[in-house]
Amino acid sequence: MHKYEKIWLSFGTVSLAVFLLILLVSALHGGHSPAASGIETIHPEHVLDDERFANPGLYESDDPDYDYDLYFVASAFRYDPAEVEIPVGSRVKVSVATTDVIHGFQITGTNVNFMVEPSLVSNYTYTFNHPGEYLVLCNEYCGIGHTDMTSIVKVVE
């Protein structure tokens, strides 16, 4: 074996060992936990059996950290409710569950933007400080009717 081949082989082996050591240390010492810890799960076939999602919409919150709880159900090419009114200045916990495939959930003009995955309840907290109409759209391709998957959030005085 040529001298330069030995150098490159040694360099590659040492680099691989260093990368594996970094991976091992970050996995064991970095405090990583499984993705599902602390996340609420719900079977897609039972989303509509849950009282929060059986009648989705805006409800006054029992939690002192929020003014309202807003529940959406994402399903084949639609969000339910199709329209919702929120008082301006309200701190809202948005909870979304899906009955079928992965969807995106974005309220345009805000920083509300997250994935809605089967078997999980996705949550996001936002304070609606500016009145107006905000389009809710699915930004994850979910099938042929994907472009029709919208809703409206009206923030009113």
Segments forming the whole domain that contains residue 25: 1-32
**Cα distance between residue 9 and residue 76, in whole Å:** 53
Q: Tell me, yes or no, whether 37 lies in a domain.
A: no
Do 28 and 65 belong together in one domain?
Answer: no
Integer Cα distance of 47 and 67 in angstroms:
24
63 and 87: one domain? Answer: yes
Q: Decide if 62 is inside a domain.
A: yes
The number of folded domains in the chain is 2
- Can you give the length of the chain in residues? 157
| Structural domain contains residue 11 | yes
**Over 80: is that where the pLDDT of 27 sits?**
no
pTM score, two decimals?
0.75
Based on the number of CB atoms within 10 Å of its own CB, is 60 exposed (0-12), middle (13-18) or buried (19 or more)? exposed
User: Quick check: is 38 in a domain?
Assistant: no
Q: Who contacts 144 (Cβ-Cβ below 8 Å, separation ≥6)?
A: none
Question: Which tens digits make up the pLDDT trace of 78-121?
Answer: 999 999 999 999 999 999 999 999 999 999 999 999 999 999 99
Asked whether residue 75 falls in the same domain as residue 108, the answer is yes
Domain containing residue 48: CATH number:
2.60.40.420
